[in-house]
Amino acid sequence: MEEKDLDFVLVPAGLLVMAVYHVWLLYQIRRKPVRTVVGMNAINRRFWVSSMMEDTQKTGVLAVQTLRNNIMASTLLASTAIMLSSLIAVLMTGGLTAQNNNNNNNNNNRHMIGITFGEGTKLRLTIKFFSILVCFLISFLMNVQSIRYYSHASMLINVPYKKITNFTCHRLTAEYVSSSVNLGSYFWSLGLRAFYFSFPLFLWLFGAIPMFVCSVFLVFMLYFLDVSVDPGWVADTSITTTTTDEESG
């Protein structure tokens, strides 16, 4: 089978494997959140926000500092993503121009480019670079949204909503603030996941086989990172129940 035929078979297969896994993961998060790391962290963040807003005078500095660390992490990923996007754009313009010059001047150079990047047609090489560029741009946008929600939450988390009596109906509750914190975390996770997606697309430059192998390996790696096998509070509940039975006995 030729290289161009492998692109039409293995590349869609690798993308399908990653898509099916993330559809399954989304279903688990929605239906069985305690079995996933994302769902468990979302529940724990709600507890954390509720405890931080119980007494804002004591925990206000801790809450703001924690959200500030999350903002710094999102800022780092956003800066890295836009820098890599600029680099890919330079490679798309300058690299393809150099390839055209080599194609017109020297057949050996064209052959070397084909060895380096797989099938060396201009359209296919443009699609590969553009796919990586889209991943980094999505990562940048997701992290910007994460910064936005974390910034909102850093102001709202110190509002003593239980002492507000000037309004007959106020919507600022711990549940609302925790939803803002969770949205910031979700966008950060999506931005980080876009970085993960760029690895198979980058290996696609070297051929369809490395891309497919990387896609399968990435799914196995993400499975162990996303699935929670032993939630902590389940073990604590069983221990507490056993202790209570022994004392009553």
Give the C-alpha separation, 66 to 77, whole Å. Answer: 17
Distance, CA of 97 to chain centre = 33
183 in any annotated domain = yes
pLDDT above 90 as % of the chain: 48
pLDDT tens digits along 13-66: 999 999 999 999 999 999 988 899 999 999 999 999 988 888 777 888 888 899
Task: Give CA–CA dist 85/81, Å, rounded.
Answer: 6
Q: Does residue 14 sit within a domain? A: yes
How large is the angle between the packed helices 122-156 and 174-203, nearest 10 degrees?
160
Q: How far apart are CA 234 and CA 216, in angstroms?
A: 32
- Name the pLDDT band for 73 (thresholds 50, 70, 90): very high
Give the tens place of pLDDT for each residue, 109-159.
Answer: 444 344 344 445 778 888 889 999 999 999 999 999 999 999 999 888 887
214 is a domain residue: yes
Domain carrying residue 216? 3-159+170-248
pLDDT value, residue 164: 63
- Within-domain flag for 165: no
Whole-number Cα distances in Å, 164 to 29, 49, 53, 72, 102: 35, 18, 13, 31, 71
Domains identified in the chain, total number: 1
In-domain check, residue 27: yes
Do 88 and 202 touch, CB atoms closer than 8 A?
no
pLDDT for 109 equals: 46
Q: Average pLDDT for residues 2-15, to the nearest whole number? A: 81
